[in-house]
């Protein structure tokens, strides 16, 4: 049994991660400033099920982060999920985006270096570090864009931080890799594609899959930025959390590696295909089209070959299965979700 420190532990991915490891008997410590929509509800949901230690701390505050590590002095692993997660927000406020994503990650790495240097450090990175994929030929079909690299994008793809968000997350990604090289920390950077699941209080610019479902069930109109043919591989949150467990088990074998992680080609969707799935489930969906936004990729599909080969992990939950689960959760929690959506 380990003591696990999870930053952003009251967020969407964080609360599922905390619950999963708590059920396995691990002691869970959360750092979360509760600034995200739904985070307090997620924290209360967690506390009803498990004994959770929570610190309402900003990771940008170096001293506050050190105080947590000093108090919780037997940390066995760190899962770093806290972040500013929206490209649009990074464009409107790049300073805050940098402070949270880049500086916050550096503060966490420094704390691990000084207080628990043997602890595995798992960093939730993003496919946005690859930018607009200028080196990849993109083909246009009837309902989706495709890439010539049929298997998807692997870790050899050149990094191209095409937005303030890409810059801040890319900086964090590289610090995580370099701290393994320079300070011999056990780090890994997980370049995640689109993660989805229950307890995701999605909005237009982050958590789009959940947002489409929430808006549709609540009778709201959806805006599609672009032509709807843009494609993402989607990964159900429980499948991701099980991968985190495999990373922790690797311990000193992590060695500052980076992995592309997503649903892969078989679990990829365009927005138009996603809308068809919702219609097949009997939902009436209203939408309109708008201009492309800065940093929007026409297509991203993760090539999971490296993580499959080295850790024996593969996604299990199909998009239709996962979407059905979220639709059910949204229908059961309409009153809660209405309280977070302004007219």
> If residue 269 lies in a helix (H) or strand (E), which one and from where to where?
strand 268-270
Q: Sign of dihedral through CA atoms 150, 151, 153, 156?
A: negative
> Using the 8-state DSSP alphabet, how is residue 302 labeled?
B
Structure tokens, 35: 């600034």
What is the set of active-site residues? Answer: 165
Structure tokens, 329: 């959760």
Residues facing 52 on adjacent strands: 28
List of E strands, 109-152: 121-126, 138-140, 145-147
Calpha distance 88→86 (Å, rounded): 5
| Residue 271 phi, psi dihedral angles, 5° rounding | -60, -40
Residues facing 257 on adjacent strands: 188
The angle subtended at Cα 294 by Cα 90 and Cα 173, nearest 5°, is 50
Calpha distance 12→113 (Å, rounded): 27
Collapse the DSSP code of 142 into the 3-class scheme (helix H, G, I; strand E, B; otherwise coil) and give the result: coil
> If residue 336 lies in a helix (H) or strand (E), which one and from where to where?
helix 334-338
Structure tokens, 60: 């940008």
Calpha distance 7→69 (Å, rounded): 12
Distance of CA 135 to the CA centre of its chain: 25
| Residue 74 phi, psi dihedral angles, 5° rounding | -125, 40
């Amino acid at each position: 049994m380990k003591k696990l420190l999870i930053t952003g532990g009251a967020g969407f991915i964080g609360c599922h991660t905390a619950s999963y490891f708590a059920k396995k008997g691990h002691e869970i410590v959360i750092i979360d400033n509760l600034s995200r929509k739904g985070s307090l509800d997620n924290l209360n949901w967690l506390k009803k099920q498990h004994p959770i230690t929570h610190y309402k701390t900003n990771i940008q505050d170096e001293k506050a982060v050190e105080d947590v590590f000093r108090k919780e002095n037997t940390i066995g692993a760190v899962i770093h999920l806290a972040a500013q997660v929206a490209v649009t927000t990074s464009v409107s406020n790049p300073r805050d985006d940098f402070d949270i994503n880049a500086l916050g990650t550096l503060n966490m790495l420094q704390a691990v270096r000084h207080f628990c240097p043997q602890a595995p450090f798992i960093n939730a990175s993003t496919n946005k570090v690859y930018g607009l994929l200028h080196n990849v030929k993109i083909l246009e079909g009837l309902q989706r864009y495709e890439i010539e690299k049929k298997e998807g994008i692997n870790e050899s793809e050149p990094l191209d931080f095409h937005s303030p968000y890409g810059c801040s997350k890319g900086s964090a990604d590289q610090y995580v890799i370099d701290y393994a090289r320079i300070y011999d920390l056990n780090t890994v950077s997980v370049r995640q594609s689109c993660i989805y699941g229950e307890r995701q209080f999605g909005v237009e610019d982050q958590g789009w899959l959940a947002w489409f479902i929430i808006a549709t069930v609540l009778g709201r109109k959806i805006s599609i930025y672009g032509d709807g043919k843009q494609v993402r591989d989607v990964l159900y949150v429980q499948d991701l959390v099980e991968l985190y467990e495999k990373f922790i088990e690797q311990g000193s074998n992590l060695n500052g590696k980076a992995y592309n992680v997503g649903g892969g080609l078989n679990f990829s969707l365009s927005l138009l295909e996603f809308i068809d799935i919702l219609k097949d489930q009997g939902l009436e969906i209203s939408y309109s089209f708008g201009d492309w936004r800065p940093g929007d990729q026409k297509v991203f599909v993760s090539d999971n070959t490296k993580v499959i080969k080295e850790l024996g992990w593969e996604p299990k939950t199909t998009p239709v299965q996962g979407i059905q689960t979220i639709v059910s959760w949204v229908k059961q929690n309409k009153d809660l979700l209405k309280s977070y959506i302004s007219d």
